[in-house]
Structure 1
Amino acid sequence: MKLLVLGATGPTGRHLVDLAVRSGDSVTALVRNPAGLGDLVDKVTPVTGDATSRRDIAAALAGHDAIVSALGRGNSVRADGLFSRASAAVTEAARETGVSRLVWLSSFGVGHTFDWSSTPQKLIYSTLLRSLYADKVIADDGIRSSGLDWTVVLPTRLTHGPAKGAYLADDRLPMKGNPSISRADVAAFMHRAAHGAEWIHRSPVITD
């Protein structure tokens, strides 16, 4: 399968790229700086570009089977429009190039899943993460109305732990406490979702 990966140099994206390469996929990574791919740079096709640019995405996307986005803001709690601008660029580029499959990383607590959160979670989502989550709402809603074969993935708190290979994934998973899931397991789920039809037009919550 030919995958275009956004956010390939981030902590979840690197897991995703590594898994895709080991699985035999042909991977193109749209990145601002190919050096950020580290030892993966020789195993993929790096394309220098901006994930919020329709033109850059469309140029990289032609001839691929799917887009998988693991874009994130690192340690920043301000969105600066990254997710809303990137989702608009991605959906426009996908329509332009005829690539319909899109797997998009969001977060548990965004949009309709806010009501399923615990009280402590709601406090964090509505204060510290307010900017990020408000922008993700715009992005996710745009993707769901895009007409593409989308999957919006909603993981709980991300950790840097090893993949367990076992996790819960469902359209509705009300939470207690502060559940988490490793970035490695999230990457594995996204990779599997891109290769199948089970999660098309669905927004799975995933957690350990």
Structure 2
Amino acid sequence: MRVTVLGATGGIGRHVVQQLLDDGHHVTALVRNPAKLSLTHPDFTLITGQLADRTALRKAVTGADAVISALGPSLKRSATGTELADGTRTLVTVMDEQEVSRFIGLATPSLADPRDKPHWKHKVLPVMAKAMFPGALRELEGMTAAVTSSDLDYTIARITNPTDKPATGRIRSGFLGHDKVGSAMTRPDIAAFLVSQLTDTRYTRAMPAISN
């Protein structure tokens, strides 16, 4: 497949790019700072630009079979603005224009899926997020709403505590109150789940929670 990756220079995005290439896919990455991704591969294309740059975004998305976004907001309390939410709305428009329907991205269990049952995370995490990371929660709410209100065939994986530990190969996924899903998950395993969604249709137009 031809896959466009956003957030390719981040801790999860780097693993997404490498796993896609290892699996034989062609990867196009849109990055604002190409110096952060020193990768040479015959099936890798690097495009410099920001999410708000419609021209660069269109170039990155055109001809793609899917878009995987490993983008996440800043956790700094001082962070303001809605750059990622605004950019995601632009992305949805460009994907629609280019007839690219498959979107795979990230969010948090602070945001509920309709298939969830009542769970402590619904009560605790939003309160913690509003108190500690209000800007990040605002961005995630905007990013998620832009995708879920669209006609895209999306899968948004909700993660709680990403870690830098080595991959375990153990991935749990499901809906809160239904399935046994924990909190911690290694970044390589998060990337593996995102990549697996290229061919796994169980969570189309859903937001599963995932963990190790």
Per the TM superposition, whether the score is higher than 0.5 is yes
Question: Any idea what SS the aligned residue of 1:169 has?
Answer: strand
Separation in 2, partners of 1:102, 1:119? 28
For residue 163 of structure 1, report the CA deviation from its aligned partner: 1.1
**1:2-36 deviation per Cα after TM superposition (whole angstroms, max 9, x unaligned):** 00000000010001001001111100000112121
**1:80-125 deviation per Cα after TM superposition (whole angstroms, max 9, x unaligned):** 3133112101100100101000001112223558964176644421
Distance 1:106 1:56, change over 3 A: same
Q: TM-score, normalised by structure 1?
A: 0.89
| Structure 2 unaligned spans of 5+ | none
Match of 1:139 among 129, 137, 143: 143
Match of 1:183 in 2: 187
Match of 1:11 in 2: 11
Structure (1 or 2) with the greater helix fraction? 1
Whether 2:48 is the aligned partner of 1:66: answer no
Match of 1:30 in 2: 30
Whether 2:163 is the aligned partner of 1:163: answer no
Whether 2:128 is the aligned partner of 1:127: answer no
Match of 2:96 in 1: 95
Match of 1:203 in 2: 207
Separation in 2, partners of 1:138, 1:111? 14
Match of 1:84 in 2: 85
Whether 2:155 is the aligned partner of 1:154: answer no
Contact 1:20–1:27, Cα closer than 8 Å, also in 2: yes
**1:31-73 deviation per Cα after TM superposition (whole angstroms, max 9, x unaligned):** 11212112x2445200011123333211211111000000124
Distance 1:41 1:127, change over 3 A: farther
Separation in 2, partners of 1:174, 1:109? 16
Contact 1:163–1:184, Cα closer than 8 Å, also in 2: yes
Question: Any idea what SS the aligned residue of 2:97 has?
Answer: helix
- AA aligned opposite 2:68: V
Question: Any idea what SS the aligned residue of 2:67 has?
Answer: strand
Contact 1:66–1:101, Cα closer than 8 Å, also in 2: yes
For residue 173 of structure 1, report the CA deviation from its aligned partner: 4.9
Q: TM-score, normalised by structure 2?
A: 0.87
Distance 1:173 1:67, change over 3 A: farther
When the two chains are superposed, the root-mean-square deviation of aligned CA atoms in Å is 2.4
